[in-house]
Amino acid sequence: MSNESIPKLLKLKDYITLVGTTLGIIALICATIGTREFLSLGFFLISITLGTDLIDGYIARKTNTKNEMGKELDSLSDSLTFGIVPAVLTYQTFKTGSFYDIILIIGAICFAFGAILRLARFNISKNPGYTGVPTPVSALMLITFFYANFFYTLAMGDINYPFLEISSYSIPFFLILIGWFNITTYIHFREKDKTIYIVFIIFAPLCPIFGVIGISSPNLIISIFASIFFLGAFILAFLLIIRGFLLYFITTRKEKKLS
């Protein structure tokens, strides 16, 4: 245990991490309010934390200020912003007020557990690359799924228009599946996987941009385009995960041939 004061232990990158943590806490408060407007704001804030997560890592590499304090702080922050908060926001968004909500609660718990357990394993892992789907990617999947439905309601002319039933009844199973994606050992990404970085470079800034557009009550054409865009992003994320499966089996097969 370090006896140093907290300010001495924190580096510049750690303060960026704490900004993301603060946004996550505000997003959680939005979830407790529970109106469609505040739920949209909550997902909007989580989409911004995707950016802070990239920035703190970039600063750590450029300034060579990686430290154990920062590693633990980043992991704890990611557990909140990419695990617990998206799970609560998703539950509040898609709950139906029926018995089916119990299944949704189970899905939300599985999603949060998947993120937390993956981050804990990552902290003790000595292997290069990523085993399981990184938590920012799984959070991004929920963000895109929400906004695909959110812009659908705007296209219908009312922010409080009911989401498609297929979305409400399929989301618990998506939550469970994504939680499993986090912890499975059958998905592997290289340490510097360009595809992951490209996806983040494209969608990390676009999610909050479209979030602002949603607040401004866009017209029918923009709403339909945005809904299709986010649905496509959600599907793309699944394709990326499938690619991770294939990469794992290809790598495993090569290792068996070499041994």
The whole-model pTM stands at 0.87
Flag whether 164 is in a domain: yes
Nearest Cα to 168, choosing from 103, 111, 225, 106? Answer: 103
Give the other-Cβ count within 10 Å of 258's Cβ: 6
Flag whether 200 is in a domain: yes
Q: What is the pLDDT of residues 65-109, one digit of tens each?
A: 777 777 888 889 999 999 999 999 999 999 988 899 999 999 999
Tens place of pLDDT for every residue, the chain, 259 residues?
Answer: 556 677 766 778 888 889 999 999 999 999 999 999 999 999 999 999 988 888 887 787 777 777 777 788 888 999 999 999 999 999 999 998 889 999 999 999 999 999 999 998 888 877 766 778 889 889 999 999 999 999 999 888 888 888 988 999 999 999 999 999 999 888 876 655 555 556 656 666 666 777 677 666 677 888 888 889 889 888 888 887 887 777 777 777 776 766 6
Whichever domain contains 124, its CATH number is 1.20.120
Flag whether 54 is in a domain: yes
Flag whether 254 is in a domain: yes
The answer to whether the beta carbons of residues 122 and 75 sit under 8 Å apart is: yes
Nearest Cα to 235, choosing from 188, 192, 199, 194? Answer: 199
Flag whether 42 is in a domain: yes
Flag whether 238 is in a domain: yes
The answer to whether the beta carbons of residues 185 and 246 sit under 8 Å apart is: no
As for how many domains the chain has, the answer is 1
Q: Rounded to an integer, what distance in angstroms lies between the CA atom of residue 111 and that of residue 176?
A: 6
Nearest Cα to 247, choosing from 132, 135, 139? Answer: 132
HEC string of the chain equals CCCCCHHHHCCHHHHHHHHHHHHHHHHHHHHHHCCHHHHHHHHHHHHHHHHHHHHHHHHHHHHCCCCHHHHHHHHHHHHHHHHHHHHHHHHHHHCCCCCCHHHHHHHHHHHHHHHHHHHHHHHHCCCCCEECCCHHHHHHHHHHHHHHHHHHHHHCCCCCCCCCHHHHHHHHHHHHHHHHHHHCCCCEECCCCHHHHHHHHHHHHHHHHHHHHHHCCCCHHHHHHHHHHHHHHHHHHHHHHHHHHHHHHHHHHHHHHHC
Q: Rounded to an integer, what distance in angstroms lies between the CA atom of residue 104 and that of residue 119?
A: 23
Flag whether 1 is in a domain: no
Domain of residue 131: give its range: 6-258
